[in-house]
Amino acid sequence: MRLTLWLFVAGLAAGGANAPATLDLPAPQKTGGLPVMEALSKRATARAFDTQDLSTQQLSNLLWSAFGLNRPDGKRTAPSAMNFQETDVYVLLKQGAYVYDAKANRLTQVLTEDIRALGGKQDFVKDAPLTLVFVADFAKMGNSGLEKPSTASIDVGFISQNVYLYCASEGLATGVRLMVDRDALGKRLGLRPDQHIIAAQSVGYPKK
C-alpha cells in the first residue's frame, strides 16, 4: 500500500477525510538489505527523482535507519555528542509536514499543506515524494561548552549517511543539501528561535 492511500485510509479511520494529527508507522524491518560494503559501493547523490510514493514500510525503515531507537536504553542508530539527541527529523510529504517521534515510531503532524518545495532551492526538490529536514534543537544541548552549530552539523552528518546507506540498500535515490531557505521553511514549520535547520535530504525512486 502506497503512502498516499494509507494516509487517506488513516484519515477516514480517524473520522474524517483529513490526515490525523499522528500517523503510526509499522514496525521497522531490522534485518535484510545489502551487506554494508556493497551498500557503500552503491552510495550516491541524486538530483532527479521519480514522483512515485514510498510505501509506509519503507518510510518506517528509512526513519528508523536515520535516527531510530536501536537499544532498550533509548540510544539511536546514529551517534550524537554527549548523547544529546538534539536532532529532530521533520518529514515533508504531499499531505503535509510531520516530525518523527522515534520512541513511539510515529509521525506527528505540524502542517497540513504541501511545502516540499521549501525543502531546497533547486527545481528537482518539489518532485521528490518526501524530504527530510534535520533540525537541531539547541535547547537540548544545555551548557556543555560545545560549539552548538558545528556539533549539531556533525551529528546530522551521521544521520544523513545512515539515510544514504539505507537508500543504497533499498534501490532508492537520495541527496542531501545545505541550500535551504531556512527562514521561510522554519517559519512554516513553526520552529522556535533555538531550533535551527542544519540540512535537508530528499528521498525517492530514481527518475526513469
pLDDT, tens digit, for every residue of 82-126? 999 999 999 999 999 999 999 999 999 999 999 999 999 999 999
Q: Which pLDDT score, from 0 to 100, does residue 13 have? A: 41
Domain boundaries, the chain: 25-204
pLDDT at residue 7, as a whole number: 52
Of residues 126, 102, 99, 107, the one with CA closest to residue 189: 99
pLDDT digits (tens, 9 = 90+) for 172-201: 999 999 999 999 999 999 999 999 999 999
pLDDT at position 167: 98
Average pLDDT score over the chain: 92
State pTM to two decimals.
0.91
Alpha helices for the chain (secondary structure H): 3-13, 36-42, 56-67, 148-170, 182-189
Residues whose CB falls within 8 Å of the CB of residue 37, separated by 6 or more in sequence, listed in order: none
| CATH 3.40.109.10, applies to 25-204 | yes
Helix/strand number for the chain, H first, E second: 5, 7
Q: Interior CA angle at 135 toward 35 and 119, to 5°?
A: 85
Q: What pLDDT, on a 0 to 100 scale, did the predictor assign at position 1? A: 52
Predicted pLDDT of residue 2? 56
C-alpha distances in angstroms, 131 versus 117, 118, 139, 176?
9, 10, 24, 9
First to last CA, the chain: 21
